[in-house]
Amino acid sequence: MREHAPQLHVSEPLLTFEEPDLAYQIVHNLLAAESELCGLFVKGGGISGVLRAVRELSSERQSKIKIVSRDVGPETRKGLSEGLITASLCHPSDRMAQELIDVMLRRLELRDTPSIEQRIVPFDILTPESIWT
């Protein structure tokens, strides 16, 4: 963002420690201090607190703030269905587990061959339009 959109001010990350109440307080204070805030990226936990703070805003202000999250739990699905979350970027847990098992089994077969094995598991992009598919 800093490189490709220099006209935007990108704040430093704020830690929520996976606590919804702390996330609520941080976002509530941020929204009060930054009247032109246009986006939030919620990398960690606390999405329910983030959404609670955003729900307190007028619908006009809500529509100007784009939220991208990194999980796919029940609160995220609710936020997507309400149109509060623009997108959620999440790794499919079942595929990640299967890839891990496959690598572990393969490494057992090749235990005498030292090497590093990497697997890329693409993330899913969920939007309000795609959460029920």
Task: Please state, for a pLDDT cut of 70, what percent of the chain lies above it.
Answer: 99
Please, what sign has the CA dihedral across residues 50, 55, 61, 63? positive
Per-residue pLDDT reduced to its tens digit, 31-63 = 999 999 999 999 988 999 999 999 999 999 999
Cβ neighbors of 55 (< 8 A, separation 6 or more) are 62, 84
- With a pLDDT cut of 90, the percent of the chain lying above it is 68
pTM of the model: 0.81
CA 50 – CA 41 distance, rounded (Å): 10
* Across 93-97, average pLDDT: 89
Domains and their CATH numbers in the chain = 20-91 (3.40.50.2300)
Predicted confidence (pLDDT) per residue in 101-128, tens digit:
999 998 888 888 887 888 888 989 999 9
Per-chain mean pLDDT for the chain? 92
